[in-house]
Structure 1
């Protein structure tokens, strides 16, 4: 008999919790901007680079991760990733200077890079194909829970115990998750006595071995792969550059909010993103359509970010609903993974997931330090408690880079080929 939904969710949940912890580390610098700048005596550009070190290794690991997921299986990949992430968190928490902190971030990013591709691989093996986009959306939900925990809850814990102690605790939690993954997770239902749902293994066995380079070349031969590599980077780049780093200081500068209040607003945007992901995944599966729904969500996101990033006289009573709508519509990016999976041969699902997730993370990897560089170039020399203060005009100049990318994403979506929620390439 095939596995029940509950059995699949139990196995899948270990990878999802690891992804949650990875997202926590991804956006944590947004809440401890002042502490990091003060402890390491760094500028906005240096802080942007420190935060982006996570993305440098994360992006670099995506294609290898996709290939390893196809070859090793998600269980070994997720277990090893958890152990290495715990080591990186310890390095970051105990860093005596910026170099050690950057090394810790680099190690964390490279190791948690396996999480999303790993849980997509588990989803493909443990759930029926018609549930893939929905489960992908649930994965994003778990990730955003991690991001939200790096908002007001992290701020409160940092105020009580200091940022280093909190990061050390996250290292212990990651180690526990890795241990549980090795004990309870299995790559396929067959390994737990169920009937396999996926036919990928059979398809793979019937084809000649293409090799690592051949697999990459094969997925890149399809137009949708290239387009879906660039498109989600603009959407996620806006979300994580704003909510993951520069949104809190921008809101405190523009509206005079406290750090705690501003982090609550950016976390609310992330919560809306978390809800939007499963909704767009479910609706896309139900409608049997990828492209039209993706275009709709992306179009709303472009308009919303234009208001959030450029409007100077908008009252909070209007800004908050705009942020929630923009975050929710940004959940449309989750369609990328099912869209791409259906556009390439089924046995290369892990490889194409790695390629697309690499594109997703290229957005914040490039935009976080780029915005910081613009801020430093426009800095007037103002300091507050030893931390640089930037003008609203400087933020607007930096944020224009984000708007440009998401506008390009919308245009490129027009050139994608609809799959109708079917595996169009065997």
Structure 2
């Protein structure tokens, strides 16, 4: 009886989980870092807007590809090995990006970063299921999203200040060193289960070979459910708009069109990220209270679509645009409703596979829209260059961001055809 009560102290549990969360923070930081160094990257590698969008999107190419197999790898290796390997490869990719002699090697660095940090979120959830009581699991999940946004905020004003002081290559080099240090700390300190440190485990269940051997069959079955496709496609528009603006093109837009300095522009994009992060758990909770998913998802999708349309097409003063970014970002946090809805749309035994597949949606948004907006900017470029950086006018940015509005309009239309789950498993 005493062994059953000998659970790990909270300080130890949060410390173990926290090292995994740090990799997620670093991953989010590296995801949006190009937004505040667009001018340096375009000058350094002599690239166009489309090439810059592609450079940023290389992170998403490998991140998306890793979503489904990550769960299987985590089951086989355990989170300790997976997080250690992820941090090690992320350090290598960041170093390659920092010292890349050409755009090819910078792209390869971003590719390695995306593939490696893709393991962080699933690993954190696995650690939480072993180290925390079930009632704390939701808290740990929410804290994970918060850690990601902290990384995004660090990649705003603080990163811009460091880049202006030391240069982007030294800053990225130090980021690689810190990530390598996290790799070592993870291996030395993290354990997959409290039992390995002499404590009782909170894990309720058992791992078996079935999960890995039936992965392909489970994936095929998951893809037979209409809601899975719909709830994967919808975030491509709404989350893609946030990642495209806050993750790459918002800062140059605010600088070139509104005349802001880099740090002020970065601060505004950080506001959008914070609103997005707050919207997720709150909208998810409101949906639970309503006992329905579809109405709130549709309403917030409409709010986000109208908000972005006003920001892009109306001649708003800067202060009004900044204020409008808050409810627009908040409403875009409706992806959390989609994650819960997707889990309820398949049998319980397929929840993990469905979650991994649907998690590709927001990332596909960044992967597709960032280079697409860059391509449109190049099509509307009037030939102006300053210090090796292409300068795009307001009409070019409006044309580019029109692609994001179009993607959201399509996503909102598709959402109409999803089946309501009433916050319950639909197939059990």
TM-score (norm: length of structure 2): 0.90
Deviation at 1:293, TM superposition (A): 3.2
Deviation at 1:189, TM superposition (A): 5.3
Judging changes above 3 Å, is the alpha-carbon distance between structure 1 residues 370 and 260 closer, same or farther for their aligned structure 2 residues? Answer: same
Partner of 1:92: 97
* Deviates further, 227-236 or 177-186: 177-186
Judging changes above 3 Å, is the alpha-carbon distance between structure 1 residues 209 and 54 closer, same or farther for their aligned structure 2 residues? Answer: closer
Which one of 382, 397, 400 corresponds to residue 398 of structure 1? 400
Whether 1:34 and 2:44 are equivalent positions in the alignment is no
Partner of 2:78: 73
Partner of 2:346: 344
SS of equivalent to 1:61: helix
8 Å contact from structure 2 (residues 61, 367) kept in 1: yes
Partner of 1:316: 318
Deviation at 1:178, TM superposition (A): 2.6
SS of equivalent to 1:410: helix
Deviation at 1:179, TM superposition (A): 2.8
8 Å contact from structure 1 (residues 75, 181) kept in 2: yes
* Deviates further, 24-33 or 135-144: 135-144
Work out the CA distance in 1 between the residues paired with 2:405 and 2:260. Answer: 24
Partner of 2:153: 148
Judging changes above 3 Å, is the alpha-carbon distance between structure 1 residues 343 and 28 closer, same or farther for their aligned structure 2 residues? Answer: same
User: Number of aligned pairs?
Assistant: 422
Deviation at 1:322, TM superposition (A): 0.5
SS of equivalent to 2:305: helix
Deviation at 1:359, TM superposition (A): 1.9
Deviation at 1:264, TM superposition (A): 1.2
Q: For residues 252-271 of structure 1, what are the alpha-carbon distances to aligned partners after superposition, in whole Å with 9 as ceiling and x for unaligned?
A: 23322222211111111112
Partner of 1:261: 264
SS of equivalent to 2:298: helix
Which one of 365, 368, 376 corresponds to residue 366 of structure 1? 368
Partner of 2:377: 375
Judging changes above 3 Å, is the alpha-carbon distance between structure 1 residues 408 and 84 closer, same or farther for their aligned structure 2 residues? Answer: same
Work out the CA distance in 1 between the residues paired with 2:211 and 2:161. Answer: 55
Judging changes above 3 Å, is the alpha-carbon distance between structure 1 residues 310 and 132 closer, same or farther for their aligned structure 2 residues? Answer: farther
Work out the CA distance in 2 between the residues paired with 1:209 and 1:94. Answer: 38
Q: For residues 52-91 of structure 1, what are the alpha-carbon distances to aligned partners after superposition, in whole Å with 9 as ceiling and x for unaligned?
A: 1111111111121133234433332222111100100010
8 Å contact from structure 1 (residues 277, 328) kept in 2: yes
Judging changes above 3 Å, is the alpha-carbon distance between structure 1 residues 423 and 131 closer, same or farther for their aligned structure 2 residues? Answer: farther
Which one of 408, 412, 415 corresponds to residue 414 of structure 2? 412
Partner of 1:272: 275
Which one of 183, 187, 190 corresponds to residue 188 of structure 2? 183
8 Å contact from structure 1 (residues 302, 406) kept in 2: yes
Judging changes above 3 Å, is the alpha-carbon distance between structure 1 residues 212 and 127 closer, same or farther for their aligned structure 2 residues? Answer: same
Work out the CA distance in 2 between the residues paired with 1:25 and 1:230. Answer: 24
Q: For residues 177-216 of structure 1, what are the alpha-carbon distances to aligned partners after superposition, in whole Å with 9 as ceiling and x for unaligned?
A: 23333334344555553343544x37x68x7875231121
SS of equivalent to 2:263: helix
Whether 1:112 and 2:117 are equivalent positions in the alignment is yes
In structure 1, the gaps of 5 or more residues are: none
Whether 1:64 and 2:69 are equivalent positions in the alignment is yes
Which one of 194, 200, 203 corresponds to residue 200 of structure 2? 194
Whether 1:16 and 2:18 are equivalent positions in the alignment is no
Partner of 1:223: 226
Partner of 1:232: 235
8 Å contact from structure 1 (residues 133, 282) kept in 2: no
Judging changes above 3 Å, is the alpha-carbon distance between structure 1 residues 100 and 18 closer, same or farther for their aligned structure 2 residues? Answer: same
Work out the CA distance in 2 between the residues paired with 1:89 and 1:56. Answer: 16
Partner of 2:173: 168
Work out the CA distance in 2 between the residues paired with 1:397 and 1:208. Answer: 46
Which one of 373, 380, 386 corresponds to residue 388 of structure 2? 386
SS of equivalent to 1:255: coil
TM-score (norm: length of structure 1): 0.90
8 Å contact from structure 2 (residues 132, 202) kept in 1: no
8 Å contact from structure 2 (residues 152, 270) kept in 1: yes
Work out the CA distance in 2 between the residues paired with 1:295 and 1:81. Answer: 37
Which one of 72, 84, 106 corresponds to residue 101 of structure 1? 106
Work out the CA distance in 1 between the residues paired with 2:424 and 2:8. Answer: 22
Deviation at 1:143, TM superposition (A): 0.9
Judging changes above 3 Å, is the alpha-carbon distance between structure 1 residues 375 and 282 closer, same or farther for their aligned structure 2 residues? Answer: same
